[in-house]
A = this chain, B = another copy of it.
Amino acid sequence: MNGAQSLIQTLVNGGVEVCFTNPGTSEIHFVAAVDQVEGMRTVLGLFEGVCTGAADGYARMTGRPAATLLHLGPGLANGLANLHNARRAFSPVVNIVGNHAIYHLPYDSPLTSDIVSLAKPVSGWIRSTEDVASTGADAAAAIAAAQTPPGQVATLIVPADCAWSEGGVTATVPTIPQPTPVESKTISQVAEVLRRGEPAVMLMTGPALMDPGLSLASCIAQATGVRLMFKSASRLQRGAGRVRLERFPYPVEQALKTLQGTAHLILVGEKPPITFFAYPDAPSWLTPESCQIHTLAQREEDIVGALEALVEELNAPDEPISAYEFERPDLPRGDITPEKVWASLAVCMPEEAIIVDESITSGRGAQRWAANAPPHDWLFHTGGAIGFGMPVAIGASVACPDRKVITMQSDGSAMYTVQALWTQAREGLDIVTVLFSNRTYAILQVELKRLGADAGGPKAQAMLDLGNPNIGWVKLAQGLGVNASRATTIEAFNQQLESAIKSNGPHLIEVVL
């Protein structure tokens, strides 16, 4: 057994059964080995950001890591933006990067680079394999590291000679630590605060945004009147029958108003809210001075256990009440607008859809439209590195082949990882991409306007403009093997969305705004 075979066998034994890959020469022994070991599905991406985003999406829907397989430093570099998002989503990822043979590195051949320095900003764990006998054990350690609460990117660098040499040893994954329980003192303290009945907000993330966490939070809200909110979410379970909660707003002016009058902010896996960017005329810190901050659970602690304990401590009713009703809006008519596109989605959304949301300015307030649709999952953009939507959709669809994935995608962001469409076609994935074509970096237009009415002349405008030429999304998608259509009226969109949802396989709808 060579090192590559021991690597793949260890991955499969350890529950890592999908590898999103864009390999190169230094990974060729891994490529050769996938047919020699049973049980590894390999999914090719034509750009590494597709692979890393897919691994993020897969982790969000399964809670388990997929592997990547990337080609040396530049291959990793191409995958870093979506690994950054995965890091901010606490997604477990076994990020495998090939390297030159150890003895070849001192020659500094053209593709040599400092892979550790590249990997560090996105990785919670990094190891470079030192000999063939360690390859399996290192893979096992990477699997455990990736799943160490709350989940992280574990980067394993595998030199080519550790893959090609004989002497590979399959290894067993070490015990994966469980989330640390929250001390009962903390539970009592938070319960005491909530019992006061003063205006309070519970800012939640991670497992608190999925059942049973959500239901437990609702019981607490029912008992105490605390407002339930979320700000950063890798995955949120939503729709009819699911618990109501508010989204913390992105725009700084609205964000500053959100906690006005709040006496207590209870953090459930979250950090105190701060602005996404800094602004010369606004603070970064969003909690009013008069508001006290209490932490129920850290992100790596047992969040669901803490909510359970709090329900018990409060003697809260054990049935959540504040759930969304099932309700389909009317099909929208008239001009095409982002709001109507979301309304149309609310009409057509099938049961258990997975919504991948990189709609940016076309998605402001989007969730209220879909709140009454059938139960669904919502995957959010956690890290702000754009080019997130279409790759993450791949991973979600590979993880959940029987569920419809709907990517709500802004045009500017889509271009960063447009190659994802090809993988969607290659794998026949059941993904509908709703492409908001507003032909501008609209969020930057908003930021430019903040600078003053006269800010930005023609050169500035050209730097934010995606027109001239307009991107032909139908041709682009078709060129990458994906069926596509174009909607310039909401009636056409309604029809195209319904048809795309009914059929199977990838489809892109260009919404011309």
Residues of A within 8 A of B (CB): 21, 23-26, 28-29, 31-32, 34-36, 40, 42, 44, 46-47, 49, 73-75, 77-78, 80-81, 84, 88, 100-101, 103-104, 107-111, 113-115, 117-118, 120-122, 160-161, 164-165, 232, 271, 274-278, 280, 284-285, 382-387, 412, 415-416, 418-419, 422, 425-426, 443-444, 447-448, 451, 455-460, 462-466, 468-481
- Give Cα distance in the complex from A84 to B115, angstroms: 12
- The reply to whether B103 and A284 form a contact with Cβ atoms under 8 Å apart is yes
- Give Cα distance in the complex from A28 to B277, angstroms: 11
Query: How far does the Cβ of A45 sit from chain B's closest Cβ, in whole Å?
Result: 10
- The reply to whether A384 and B111 form a contact with Cβ atoms under 8 Å apart is yes
- The reply to whether B481 and A470 form a contact with Cβ atoms under 8 Å apart is yes
Look across to chain B and name the residue whose beta carbon is closest to the beta carbon of A231: B110
Using A280-B161, A383-B110 as known contacts, say yes or no to A451 and B118 having CB atoms under 8 A apart.
no
Q: Which residues of B contact A23 (CB under 8 A)?
A: 444, 463-464
- The reply to whether B426 and A468 form a contact with Cβ atoms under 8 Å apart is yes
- Give Cα distance in the complex from A439 to B474, angstroms: 22
- Give Cα distance in the complex from A129 to B100, angstroms: 35
Query: How far does the Cβ of A239 sit from chain B's closest Cβ, in whole Å?
Result: 25
**What 5 pairs between A and B have smallest CB-CB spacing?**
A35-B457, A469-B481, A476-B479, A74-B385, A475-B479
- The reply to whether A479 and B473 form a contact with Cβ atoms under 8 Å apart is yes
Query: How far does the Cβ of A481 sit from chain B's closest Cβ, in whole Å?
Result: 3
- The reply to whether A117 and B107 form a contact with Cβ atoms under 8 Å apart is no
Look across to chain B and name the residue whose beta carbon is closest to the beta carbon of A21: B463
- Give Cα distance in the complex from A422 to B411, angstroms: 13
Q: Which residues of B contact A455 (CB under 8 A)?
A: 32
- The reply to whether B44 and A277 form a contact with Cβ atoms under 8 Å apart is no
- The reply to whether B463 and A44 form a contact with Cβ atoms under 8 Å apart is yes
- The reply to whether A481 and B471 form a contact with Cβ atoms under 8 Å apart is yes
Q: Which of A34, A108, A466, A474: most chain B Cβ within 10 A?
A: A34
- Give Cα distance in the complex from A75 to B108, angstroms: 26
- The reply to whether B44 and A462 form a contact with Cβ atoms under 8 Å apart is yes
A471 contacts which of B284, B459, B480 (Cβ < 8 Å)?
A: B480
Query: How far does the Cβ of A326 sit from chain B's closest Cβ, in whole Å?
Result: 33
Q: Which residues of B contact A386 (CB under 8 A)?
A: 74
- Give Cα distance in the complex from A513 to B350, angstroms: 43
- Give Cα distance in the complex from A472 to B46, angstroms: 14
Look across to chain B and name the residue whose beta carbon is closest to the beta carbon of A164: B280
A277 contacts which of B109, B468, B478 (Cβ < 8 Å)?
A: B109
- Give Cα distance in the complex from A135 to B134, angstroms: 48
- The reply to whether B84 and A278 form a contact with Cβ atoms under 8 Å apart is no
Q: Which residues of B contact A443 (CB under 8 A)?
A: 25
A-B contact pairs, 30 of them (CB 8 A): A25-B444, A31-B448, A31-B464, A32-B456, A32-B460, A42-B463, A44-B465, A46-B466, A73-B80, A74-B384, A74-B385, A78-B80, A101-B284, A103-B284, A104-B274, A110-B384, A113-B122, A115-B121, A117-B117, A118-B121, A160-B277, A415-B419, A418-B418, A418-B419, A425-B469, A469-B481, A471-B481, A475-B478, A476-B479, A476-B480
A28 contacts which of B108, B448, B469 (Cβ < 8 Å)?
A: B448
- Give Cα distance in the complex from A34 to B117, angstroms: 33
- The reply to whether B46 and A278 form a contact with Cβ atoms under 8 Å apart is no
Look across to chain B and name the residue whose beta carbon is closest to the beta carbon of A451: B32
Using A46-B416, A109-B284, A471-B422 as known contacts, say yes or no to A114 and B121 having CB atoms under 8 A apart.
yes
Given A44-B465, A88-B110, A104-B284, list of 5 further CB < 8 A pairs?
A: A26-B277, A35-B459, A110-B382, A111-B383, A469-B481
- Give Cα distance in the complex from A494 to B161, angstroms: 45
A117 contacts which of B121, B232, B459 (Cβ < 8 Å)?
A: B121
Look across to chain B and name the residue whose beta carbon is closest to the beta carbon of A455: B32
